[in-house]
Amino acid sequence: MTQTAMVKRLVSSRKAEIVVRRESACGHHCATCEGCKMYDQPTVTVTAENEAGAMPGDTVTVETSSAHVLGMAAVVYLLPFVLFFTLYLAAGALSFSTPVSVTLGVVGFAAGAAADLLLDRRVKRKQALSFRIVSVERR
């Protein structure tokens, strides 16, 4: 997956801090999307491998593993729904009433959303998503 970013500062001779505009999995820009306005920041600041020799202020093309990004998106989008339906159907199979089944489904959805938040914090803390500057677009 490639994105455009701006180099904020050099961390070392091989690494740079970059600012990447947050984009949604649907391909639209979150800053203008009604569904994504819940995000605090329309940009994300990360450290990237500086293979292109970019300097502060440069607009660059960055690359990250598409498989990793798609895997994360699948977890974020699917986990709450999977937990909702699993708990809802399990409660129904155990002959709980419909309101109890729905309540357990909602609890499952909330647990999935909470797990997504924890995963997001872990990814940010460990910088599990690695970025690589592959070219300089503008100096």
Q: How confident is the model at residue 89 (pLDDT cuts 50, 70, 90)?
A: very high
pLDDT at position 64, please? 80
Number of domains making up the chain: 1
Domain limits for position 75 = 2-138
Angle between helices 66-93 and 98-126 (to 10 degrees): 160
**Mean pLDDT of the chain, nearest integer:** 83
The mean pLDDT value for 52-78 works out to 84
What is the reported pLDDT for 59?
Answer: 92
Quote the tokens at residue 83: 């937990």
pLDDT at 39: 53
Does 83 score more than 90 pLDDT? Answer: yes
Residue 112: predicted pLDDT:
93
Higher pLDDT, 126 or 72: 72
Q: What are the structure tokens assigned to 71, written together?
A: 């895997």
Neighbours of 86 (CB within 10 A): 14
* Alpha carbon distance 49, 16 (integer Å): 7
Helix (H) or strand (E) holding 6: strand 2-10
**pLDDT value, residue 120:** 79
Say which residue, 57 or 119, is predicted with more confidence: 57
**pTM of the predicted model, to two decimals?**
0.55
